[in-house]
Amino acid sequence: MYILQESLFSFEELQKIESKERLPIFFSALDLRPYARELRNPSPRGADGHCRQGILRALLAAPLENIDTFTGLARRLKFDLRFRYQCGLRLDIPAPSISTLSRVFAELTGKGLAKQLFEDLVTQCQEAGIIDGTHVAIDSAAIHAYEKKEPKRKSELTGNANWGAKFDTFGNKVKWFGYKLHLAVDAKSELPMALKVTSAHVNDGDEGPALMTTVAAKSKVKFFMLDAGYDQIKNYEAARNVKAQAIIPLNPRNEKEPPAGITRKGTPCCSMGFPMTYWGQEKVHLKFRCPHATGQVDCPLGMAACSSSNYGMVVKINSQTDLRRYALPHRESRGWKELYNKRTSVERCNSRMKTYLTADQLHVWGIQKVTTHQYLNAIVLLASALAIAKQRVQNAA
């Protein structure tokens, strides 16, 4: 296994390579034979004579080449012989038809092979040192659909497309019809480690615990970074249950009156009413010191009002007494803010999938097929990172 030291996300690097050279590099990281065997008909080749591994390659090459329909993929295979050859499809017979591509896609969906390939590639990226997995960011993205609209009650039962709304970065409320793509992303490599597709109306916070559990089963996560939409006690508990810490800003809509002598963000106040100074943590306890002793305020009574010690009054709070209010590290500390800033990794991953790939260009219907579509896009990111890592090792040899 090739090991990539100080790995950086390399999808843009692959995108800069010309298409005719990009595909061989991309496919060099993929061994699709085990998955193609699951797609084969009883005969050695399909009834239409097309190699299933070649069709699987073509379905993966489609998002990389920004081809978002079976019609567009069939046309590219028909008229671009180099593309067809690089996908491993024969040139002496007609290119696969739209119905053949659609049928293989349906098989991928029915047998869960896209999810299996995605999970195998996540493991390979971890073994190669590309995915670190100790700091994971979670967020959702809007996915637009053009399906026939169903009554809300029916769509809630089927999980298919529905109306959704969320606030953008600037606080504007955005509405759309379709789905949500929930992603858990490694903050170091900006690569997806777990995903789930739901109807657009599903609340972000409801999907946090499942994503955390899935990721924690694969790696030793220390911190999960999520935005204020996940500020629900179940997300803090889910992180604690896998021995990690949730880094989530407090959502004013969920806020209740804090305990007496405690600020909204969990800082205790001294007897004079000044917020105390955070002074690190001891296991699950947060330590705070007299603000006059640390030079943060000029108390008219000095330290004597609270303590006779030259060190000043010290307060220790057990963070386990209120997982939401007391974070490790403290919510107002530099360390907490540095951790939360890593949440932007999931935003960049979402952006790549929607801008450079085809995550937001749906031409399949139903949540099962939409999920397969998203897995194929995520697979492209993982395979691209593996391919570039392999290429770097070869160039260095």
Residues 238 and 264 in one domain: no
pLDDT band at residue 6 under the 50/70/90 scheme: very low
Distance in angstroms (rounded) separating the CA atoms of residues 228 and 324: 12
Is 324 within 8 Å of 231 (Cβ atoms)? yes
More confident residue, 343 or 391: 343
Alpha-carbon distances, residue 310 vs 134, 301, 304 (angstroms) = 40, 14, 9
pLDDT computed for residue 384 by the predictor: 92
Residues 164 and 295 in one domain: no
Distance in angstroms (rounded) separating the CA atoms of residues 85 and 115: 26
> Is residue 302 included in any domain, yes or no?
yes
> Is residue 361 included in any domain, yes or no?
no
Strongest mean pLDDT among 60-69, 164-173, 300-309? 60-69
Task: Give 386's DSSP letter.
Answer: H
Q: Could you report how far apart the first and last alpha carbons of the chain are, in Å? A: 14
Quick check: 226 pLDDT over 80?
Answer: yes
Q: By C-alpha distance, which of 143, 122, 100 is closest to 374?
A: 143
- Containing 315, the helix (H) or strand (E) segment is strand 314-318
Residues 137 and 150 in one domain: yes
Residues 30 and 90 in one domain: yes
Quick check: 215 pLDDT over 90?
Answer: yes
> Is residue 6 included in any domain, yes or no?
no
Residues 305 and 200 in one domain: no
pLDDT computed for residue 21 by the predictor: 82
pLDDT band at residue 397 under the 50/70/90 scheme: low
Q: What is the mean pLDDT of residues 236-249?
A: 95
pLDDT computed for residue 160 by the predictor: 87
Report the range of poorest mean pLDDT among 275-279, 303-307, 376-380, 385-389. 303-307
Residues 242 and 141 in one domain: yes
Tell me the average pLDDT of the chain. 88
Residues 13-50 pLDDT 10s: 777 777 778 898 899 889 999 999 998 655 444 445 68
Q: Which structural domain, as residue segments, surrounds residue 223?
A: 133-252+342-355
Residues 146 and 243 in one domain: yes
**Helix spans in 6-112 (H):** 11-15, 19-27, 33-39, 52-64, 70-79, 81-86, 98-111
Quick check: 73 pLDDT over 90?
Answer: yes
Residues 140 and 247 in one domain: yes
**Residue percentage of the chain with pLDDT more than 90:** 63
Strongest mean pLDDT among 10-24, 47-61, 237-251, 382-396? 237-251
Q: What is the mean pLDDT of residues 156-160?
A: 78
CATH code for position 178: 3.30.420.10
pLDDT band at residue 157 under the 50/70/90 scheme: confident
**Residue percentage of the chain with pLDDT more than 70:** 93
Distance in angstroms (rounded) separating the CA atoms of residues 51 and 58: 11
For residue 261, how far is the Cα from the chain centroid? 38
Q: By C-alpha distance, which of 285, 321, 289, 330 is closest to 306?
A: 289
Quick check: 3 pLDDT over 60?
Answer: no
Distance in angstroms (rounded) separating the CA atoms of residues 105 and 358: 15
Q: Which residue has the tokens 């692959």?
A: 14
Quick check: 383 pLDDT over 90?
Answer: yes
Residues 284-322 pLDDT 10s: 999 999 999 888 898 888 887 788 788 888 999 999 988
> Is residue 231 included in any domain, yes or no?
yes
Is 60 within 8 Å of 379 (Cβ atoms)? yes
Residues 243 and 197 in one domain: yes
Quick check: 361 pLDDT over 90?
Answer: yes
pLDDT computed for residue 53 by the predictor: 92
Residues 114 and 216 in one domain: no
Q: How many domains does the chain divide into?
A: 3
Residues 100-109 pLDDT 10s: 999 999 999 9
